[in-house]
Structure 1
Amino acid sequence: MDKKYKVLVVDDATFMTKAISDLLESDAEIEVIGVARNGLEGLKKIKELHPDVITLDIDMPVMDGLQAIRHIMIEAPVPIVVLSSLFSDGSITFEALRLGVVDFVAKPSGAISSDIHVAKQQIVDRIKLATAVNFQNIRRVRVKRGQGRAGHLNASTPSSLVVIGTSLTGPNSFIRLMTRLESGLHAAAVILLEISPKILPAFVEKFNEFASWKIAIAEDGKVLEQGVCYIQSNMLSVTVDFSEYGEPCFKMGEPTDNPLNTLFISAAEAFRERTVGVLLTGYGDDGSEGFARIQERGGKTIAQSVESCVYPNLTDSAIKRKRVDMIADESNLAEAIASLIKR
């Protein structure tokens, strides 16, 4: 490869900028073209150096990471991979993903430079994938605090199940969807996100302040309740099964190469014609086989339109295989899902 991925590293710790730079440049396809000590300096260097992607710390002086993201997305748009030890702060992880960063990667063991190499491949992969985003489709999600759950129904077994799949950049699209999907539907929802399990609890806690549905983590043995949207990382295998009392519940398994197919197929077998499958933005071709099973069992499938995706691969693959009953732009997904839920 003649052309290298050009990266700017923004972090206030000298040892960390060196550790990240060395880590990235150990890959022959990546070139670190500069470093910056805070968000303000980073913004200036983005305009000067025109990197393909930046890594960004959150806890920095002068201009912190969140302030920097806001300015960068308006003044000098570039794909951002957050690399921070502040993953346990829900307001920070949620806000960064809401504002449109490509991913939020937890620094291993805080900010210990020798430990960061544990995550080397993940970080390198994120940098390369970040350069391929359809950047004009990355937008901050506008949210309103305390919009409440006036339509949230009392805990009961859901009549229908919405299963949602996505991958990188999915949290941003998912936040937008779940702040628009009407509450009070006779359904539960479950989504697999490409998000670190370390970040998930804080993300869910913060998301609950804005979503009209209750947001919870999908856990082994947890019984599905109406009006709840369950989230889990696609680093795990999640299936829907029945408890000994005949209640729909989650079963957690070992990681699999096709977590969306695994979830979708199990949902189709459990809820049959009352299953609604949804594919959002993402790379790869996972989910198409699961969509086929949903259709075979009488359920319905929806794909986000290729034109509105940050990564079109997931939805494009399912559409080309004729596994999609309905295609909707991101702005119309919530209405499309509601229209297919069995009343």
Structure 2
Amino acid sequence: MAVKVLVVDDSSFFRRRVSEILEQDSNIQVIGFAVNGREAVDKARELRPDVITMDVEMPVLDGISAVKEIMAATPTPILMFSSLTRDGATATLDALDAGALDFLPKKFEDIARNNEDAIALLQNKVKEIGRRRLSRFTRPAPVTRTTPTSAPTRSTTTSSGIVQPDRSFSRTATAPASSSAGSSSSVSSMRASGKKYQLVAIGTSTGGPVALQTILTQLPANFPHPILLIQHMPAAFTPAFAARLNGLCKINVKEAQNGDRLVPGTAYLAPGGQQMLIEGRGGSRTLRVFEDDSPRITYKPSVDVTFASAAKTFAGDVLAVVLTGMGADGRDGARMLKQVGATIWAQDEKTSVVYGMPQAVANAGLASESLALNDVAARLTRETGCG
């Protein structure tokens, strides 16, 4: 059965272009159009599409407000189109918070290396999110954080070469609520393995921004290890996403920079369009962030690339988690980690927006646990001994 799509945009040219691209795929059917957010809300209720493509900036009612109303009245998977600007990034992240599942740049030439790849990516995203039942999705509840004025953080270096911050200041946050499967009782019954770690690495794609926010906002300020975050995201979006997470979390979150030293309780988000590696053995461990023009690597940043680097640098002292996302990025890197004794977890199918990346890891026999999204943070704190 074809995925039924409602296309929403105030530009007649863009509506026509999106429609033409989608209907090149026999498994997709465009069933209607809307020219503003108010009409989108009405058409969503009338037509009951499987997927809605939504512009951010529109007259009468903007895209973010339309997403909120649609999710309240007739919950529907929504794919946002946005500009690759700072304002566009902020608006898109707001739309994801409101309930949209994924996004693409509005300029198709920014989507992929060539027109054919861009067309396939749009079609595949629509089909993937259109196959999922919206009741399975998890959205984070509003989170607030207060950070008291304090002197710059002081730090010392441990014998392992990882910088240890001075945690004399405190942060407070409200953990997000979740409708995902899994419960705290099921997590509390799981015992920590007793294994020692030096690094946590998390890879994700479609559905990742919400998944990462759900997990990271639940971690305590005294989380004992650095965390590497590899999220498929355009370069214009990662600074805004890192800043947003840092404003919501008890731990520190930053966009990774070349030469950053790894600090416990800090999460480093790989910059869009670049690769993130770990350098150093025995002494200080630092990040190498660099432009990658290799045609052999599809994703920039790539979960496989960072996971492979973690395997080389930290061997088995890594806890890696593969979350929701299209494709299989992370499988090969997880295999390298597994070979040196690292621990691999995967998000379960029920709470994944797209069960592609975690499924690839699970089907390869690499994941020791399959976890509901809202259980991941509790398992991380228990496994690492900080909760």
Which TM bucket (shorter chain)?
0.7 to 0.9
Aligned to 1:67: 65
Note if 1:171 corresponds to 2:209.
yes
Superposed, which structure 2 residues align to 1:32-71 within 5 Å?
32-71=30-69
Give yes or no for contact 2:80–2:92 (8 Å, CA) kept in 1. Answer: no
Superposed, which structure 2 residues align to 1:289-308 within 5 Å?
289-308=332-351
Q: CA RMSD in A?
A: 3.2
Shift of 1:176: 0.6
Change in Cα spacing, 1:302 to 1:29, as seen in structure 2 (3 Å) is closer
Counterpart code for 2:211: S
Shift of 1:69: 0.9
SS of 2:243's partner is: helix
Equivalent in 274, 277, 280 of residue 317 of structure 2? 274
Counterpart code for 1:142: A
SS of 2:270's partner is: strand
Aligned to 2:383: 340
Stretch of structure 1 that moved more, 101-110 or 74-83: 101-110
Gap runs ≥5 in structure 1: 111-115
Aligned to 2:91: 92
Equivalent in 216, 224, 243 of residue 262 of structure 2? 224
Note if 1:185 corresponds to 2:185.
no
Shift of 1:246: 4.2
Superposed, which structure 2 residues align to 1:1-343 within 5 Å?
3-85=1-83, 87-89=85-87, 90-108=89-107, 119-148=118-147, 154-155=154-155, 157=162, 160-232=198-270, 236-242=274-280, 246-252=284-290, 253=292, 254=294, 256-257=297-298, 259-341=302-384
Give yes or no for contact 2:101–2:353 (8 Å, CA) kept in 1. Answer: no
Give yes or no for contact 2:259–2:286 (8 Å, CA) kept in 1. Answer: no
Shift of 1:197: 2.0
Q: Report the Cα distance in structure 2 between the residues aligned to 1:153 and 1:314, rounded to whole angstroms.
A: 36
| TM-score of the superposed pair, with normalisation by structure 2 | 0.76
SS of 1:34's partner is: strand
| TM-score of the superposed pair, with normalisation by structure 1 | 0.85
Shift of 1:172: 1.1
Counterpart code for 2:330: G
Shift of 1:277: 0.5
Shift of 1:234: 7.1
Gap runs ≥5 in structure 2: 110-114, 164-196
Counterpart code for 1:50: R
Q: Report the Cα distance in structure 1 between the residues aligned to 2:237 and 2:320, rounded to whole angstroms.
A: 25
Shift of 1:96: 1.5
Q: Report the Cα distance in structure 1 between the residues aligned to 2:73 and 2:10, rounded to whole angstroms.
A: 21
Q: Report the Cα distance in structure 2 between the residues aligned to 1:149 and 1:142, rounded to whole angstroms.
A: 23
SS of 1:295's partner is: helix
Change in Cα spacing, 1:149 to 1:91, as seen in structure 2 (3 Å) is farther
Give yes or no for contact 2:237–2:272 (8 Å, CA) kept in 1. Answer: no
